[in-house]
Amino acid sequence: MVLTGLVVLQLAVSWRAEAQINSYWDLYHFWIQAFDSCVRVLSPTLNKALLLKAPIDECFYGVGNPLNQYLATSCPNGRWKRNGGQVWALAKWGDKVWVGTRENAICTTMGFSGVMEPIRTDYAVCEFGQSAFVPPLPDYLGDWRPPSIYVYDVQTGQSRRVAFLTPGSLGGIPLIQGLRGAGAVNGIVFMAGLAGTDSQNASLVLFAYNSDTEEFLGWRALNGPDGTRYKNTRKWLTFKGHLYGSAWVEGGGRIIRWLGDAEAIKKGDVRTLWNFEEVGYLDQAPANMTVYDGKRLAVGTRPKDTNRVLRGGQIWLSPEFQDHLTAQDAFQWKVVWSAAAYEPDTVTAAATAVGDLAFFDGYLWWGTEMQVEQAWGIHKEVYGRLLPGYPSTDQDIAALLGTWRPTSVFRGRHMESENYQVDLLYGFSLLPRFEVNQETGQGRWTLAPNRMGAKPLYGPGGFCNWYQVQTYSMAVFGNRLYVGTSEYSQRMASGFLSLPDFPKPTPSPELWGADLWRFDSAEAGAVAESLGGIGNYLNAAVRNLLADDALYVGTGNTSNLATDPRDDVPEGGWELIRLWE
């Protein structure tokens, strides 16, 4: 993300009266005190079954070792490896659950952010440029492996991989980084993939299936009706028999609705298979969607590829509709909230996305989402232009602690009106803010009130865990709201993240694993359905939640070397889990 010179000028402000921070140790103690009196209540109510697990698919001998072999059938004196890192897309139609994956997600994410030094721990490895896949792939994509599409039949308990997406297969598909979105309507399933080896040439590729027969119907790189290139996607949803998807474009995003004739397609007439219309124009990248009060769509965005970056992530509401949105509604959407309405630090707000969201018990609920390394990097990029020599070693650590944000959780009602109400459920009354004095050219951290002037109703952000930085998923199941998170402590404790040594809360093994939280009503705070990765503390993310006859969970698990069934360490690799009452 690049912030313009105009933005930099807006950051040069006068000293304010908030509490001053004198060193990074002050920031450390601020965070310790913020979580000093936390209480986390574990109260599971659901049964659990593991349905699918990422397969072992590689023999690993060492970073850059020529003996490393993908799709090996044996592994003498080597170490088995699971590359499958995320259930990145999840959909269901009838008895069929459709799963789209992304392999070694944390490695490719770090590679795109500029990390190129190989990393190996007892749990995981990223080879980057020393991978056998380089060349032909660039160094930052060295850990890429082909994603897959799986289908699981909940009645028979049988599953199969219906697609192994190697470049050039299926009649010439491009390199697919992973399947990021999925939707199903009237028996037709779309799996939406992010294609390309760099962000400038990225494209959105759809794979279509007849869910009843599991027949592959075709694939297409999807563009807008005017030829605008769709670059990425995230969440899709079906409402009142209509399928809506998200598409990222240069400078913003689109909400699209499928116009196809499902019955004709299933009979062999595929002329309408790729017919979509644009029903929403947004000035940021749409990430998550939900139905608001049964008559609108609500969309949370990421501040990416946009001139509206200073707002941070936003929540958009569609106009009210009876049956479905149309192209006439595309310019009638409005912004009702942004991260900048809460976050006091301008640069940190610009790096904060809206996580998942859901409508429950008369309120719209949502959380924040942040990549810690990204916020830290943007801070240094911006202030490095203003302050010669910034940051020093100590300032670098202070910047990491000052931009770290455990996920905050909100709810709002009457969001469509001027008299809307937003409550801070989990978050912080005070947060670190960096300021630059125009007269002296000096910068410093302070503790500033959040811009809502609100105190959290139920506790500090992260659901009382400093390492929970993302609200990844939400779903309403059994008249309860479930919230899934992404959790950093195991990756931090094992030394897997590319971060400097800095003072931090002890990443206790008791915290390891993503959480699944439950709100039983709007009258009380959350209780934990799971505090340890839903039975596997290497599940670092509850990446997807899908509510149907049960609550289906798709996890993110970066521990690609955790494959030995003889040790006391759980298995690495993504999981598809079924939870039911």
pLDDT tens figures, 459-505: 999 999 999 999 999 999 999 999 999 999 998 888 888 788 898 88
Q: Using CA atoms, how far apart are residues 358 and 371, in angstroms rounded to an integer? A: 22
**Residue 327 is encoded by which pair of tokens?**
């192209």
Q: Using CA atoms, how far apart are residues 471 and 469, in angstroms rounded to an integer? A: 7
Q: Using CA atoms, how far apart are residues 414 and 209, in angstroms rounded to an integer? A: 39
Q: Using CA atoms, how far apart are residues 450 and 293, in angstroms rounded to an integer? A: 28
Q: What is the sign, positive or negative, of the torsion defined by CA atoms of 486, 546, 98, 182?
A: negative
Residue 305 has what pLDDT? 61
Average pLDDT over residues 144-161: 98
Q: What is the pLDDT of residues 263-282, one digit of tens each?
A: 999 999 999 999 999 999 99
Q: How many structural domains comprise the chain? A: 1
Residue 242 has what pLDDT? 99
Q: Using CA atoms, how far apart are residues 246 and 236, in angstroms rounded to an integer? A: 6
Whether 120 maps to a domain, the answer reads: no
**Residue 75 is encoded by which pair of tokens?**
């592994």
Query: What is the percent of the chain where pLDDT is above 90?
Result: 87
Residue 18 has what pLDDT? 62
Are the C-beta atoms of residues 301 and 285 closer than 8 Å to each other?
Answer: yes
Nearest CA to 429 out of 461, 458, 454, 459 is that of 454
Whether 568 maps to a domain, the answer reads: yes
Residue 369 has what pLDDT? 97
Whether 520 maps to a domain, the answer reads: yes
For residue 464, the surrounding DSSP H or E stretch is: helix 461-464
Average pLDDT over residues 291-310: 87
Are the C-beta atoms of residues 478 and 580 closer than 8 Å to each other?
Answer: no
Amino acid making up residue 369:
E
Nearest CA to 287 out of 305, 306, 300 is that of 300
Whether 551 maps to a domain, the answer reads: yes
Are the C-beta atoms of residues 100 and 88 closer than 8 Å to each other?
Answer: yes
What range does the domain containing 530 cover?
A: 482-580
Whether 556 maps to a domain, the answer reads: yes
Q: Using CA atoms, how far apart are residues 573 and 56, in angstroms rounded to an integer? A: 9
Residue 306 has what pLDDT? 60
Residue partners of 118: CB distance under 8 A and separation at least 6: 63, 64, 125, 126, 127, 128, 129, 130
Mean pLDDT, the chain, integer = 94
Q: What is the pLDDT of residues 85-117, one digit of tens each?
A: 999 999 999 999 999 999 999 999 999 989 999
Mapped to the 3 state alphabet, what secondary structure does 333-366 carry? Answer: CEEEEEHHHCCCCHHHHHCCEEEEEEEECCEEEE
* pLDDT range class, residue 307, cuts 50, 70, 90: low
Are the C-beta atoms of residues 146 and 163 closer than 8 Å to each other?
Answer: no
Are the C-beta atoms of residues 295 and 321 closer than 8 Å to each other?
Answer: yes
Q: Using CA atoms, how far apart are residues 293 and 302, in angstroms rounded to an integer? A: 23
168 sits in the region (left: phi over 0; alpha: psi -120 to 50; else beta) called: left
Are the C-beta atoms of residues 133 and 144 closer than 8 Å to each other?
Answer: yes
Q: Which residues pair with 286 in a beta bridge?
A: 301
Reading across the β-sheet that carries 58-60, which strands appear in turn? 69-70, 58-60, 79-81
* pLDDT range class, residue 327, cuts 50, 70, 90: very high
Burial class (CB in 10 A: 0-12, 13-18, 19+), 500: exposed
Q: What is the pLDDT of residues 535-557, one digit of tens each?
A: 999 999 999 999 999 999 999 99
Q: Residue 358, SS3?
A: strand
**Residue 291 is encoded by which pair of tokens?**
């139905």
Whether 538 maps to a domain, the answer reads: yes
Whether 537 maps to a domain, the answer reads: yes
Residue 440 has what pLDDT? 84
Q: Using CA atoms, how far apart are residues 376 and 381, in angstroms rounded to an integer? A: 9
Q: Using CA atoms, how far apart are residues 427 and 239, in angstroms rounded to an integer? A: 32
Whether 1 maps to a domain, the answer reads: no
